[in-house]
């Protein structure tokens, strides 16, 4: 289905955005999107069918995610955020949906909203180690170092033997010494629910 292909492409883009954030920081990424835009623009004929799908299945998070993807494909990220928020609300344990929402917030230049989205998720899902790693990385990138430190510590409590654990410990040491930023060797949290 065309909508599935668009959503898959969008998820790859979101993954690339999160990876870029982890390695170069958020501000160069935002600058890139301001200067060059975020993908294909133009008319989007996917919105109508996606809106119909939502109308037929208003309690289906997949339908809302289809609508979010359709809006994002047309570069309408404000509406994409609203639709993805509904998908997250209907499926609050799915970190993939939150990751997509984070990507949309970053695309619109609102990294604080991205941090808040992951924070809300971690409050409801306090045992999701990958979410805490992502929260730590996002918080460090926006200069919220106490939150980054706490998130990294929670990640280490939940996943002390993770391959990313040494890099996360190093990031905590950096934060303690007055430095900031995400763990240098840590991969961004994989999309997973």
pLDDT at 178: 77
Predicted confidence at residue 46, as pLDDT, reads: 85
Question: What secondary structure letter does DSSP report for 181?
Answer: S
The low-confidence residues of the chain, meaning pLDDT below 50, are 1-2, 39-43, 185, 188-193
Please answer whether residues 87 and 65 qualify as being in contact, where contact means their C-beta atoms are separated by less than 8 angstroms.
yes
User: d(Cα 144, Cα 89) in Å, to the nearest integer?
Assistant: 25
Q: What local confidence, expressed as pLDDT, does residue 177 receive?
A: 86
CA-based torsion, 172, 119, 17, 32: positive or negative: negative
- The fold of the 2-36+46-176 domain, in CATH, is 1.25.40
Q: What is the pLDDT of residue 66?
A: 92
Alpha carbons 22 and 93: distance in angstroms, whole number: 23
What does the pLDDT read at residue 107? 92
pLDDT given for residue 169 in this prediction: 96
Q: What is the pLDDT of residue 80?
A: 94
Helices (H), the chain: 2-24, 26-36, 47-56, 61-73, 77-90, 95-107, 111-124, 129-141, 145-158, 165-176
140, 104 contact by CB (below 8 A):
no
End-to-end CA distance of the chain: 23
Biggest CA pair distance of the chain: 54
CA angle 152, 153, 159 (to 5 degrees): 85
Residues whose CB is less than 8 angstroms from the CB of residue 113 and which lie 6 or more positions away in sequence, other chains included: 81, 105
CB 46 within 8 A of CB 3: yes
Predicted pLDDT of residue 190: 39
pLDDT (tens digit per residue) in 93-120: 999 999 999 999 999 999 999 999 999 9
State the pLDDT at residue 14. Answer: 57
The whole-number pLDDT of residue 78 equals 94
Vertex 120: Cα angle to 117 and 124 (nearest 5): 140
Q: For position 94, what pLDDT does the model report? A: 95
Per-residue pLDDT tens over the stretch 139-155: 999 999 999 999 999 99
DSSP states along 123-156: HH-TT-HHHHHHHHHHHHHTT-HHHHHHHHHHHH
pLDDT of residue 51: 93
pTM reported for the whole predicted model: 0.70
């Amino acid at each position: 289905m065309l909508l599935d292909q668009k959503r898959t492409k969008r998820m790859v883009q979101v993954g690339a955005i999160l990876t870029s954030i982890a390695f170069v920081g958020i501000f160069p990424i935002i600058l890139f999107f301001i200067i060059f835009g975020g993908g294909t623009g133009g008319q989007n004929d996917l919105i109508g069918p996606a809106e119909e799908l939502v109308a037929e299945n208003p309690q289906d998070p997949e339908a809302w995610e289809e609508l979010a993807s359709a809006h994002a494909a047309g570069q309408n990220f404000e509406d994409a955020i609203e639709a993805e928020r509904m998908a997250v609300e209907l499926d609050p344990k799915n970190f993939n949906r939150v990751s997509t929402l984070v990507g949309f917030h970053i695309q619109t230049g609102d990294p604080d909203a991205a941090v808040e989205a992951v924070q809300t998720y971690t409050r409801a899902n306090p045992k999701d180690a990958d979410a805490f790693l992502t929260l730590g990385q996002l918080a460090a990138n926006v200069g919220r170092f106490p939150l980054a430190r706490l998130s990294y510590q929670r990640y280490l409590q939940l996943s002390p033997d993770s391959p990313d654990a040494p890099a996360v410990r190093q990031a905590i040491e950096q934060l303690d010494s007055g430095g900031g930023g995400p763990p240098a060797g840590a991969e961004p949290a994989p999309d997973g629910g």
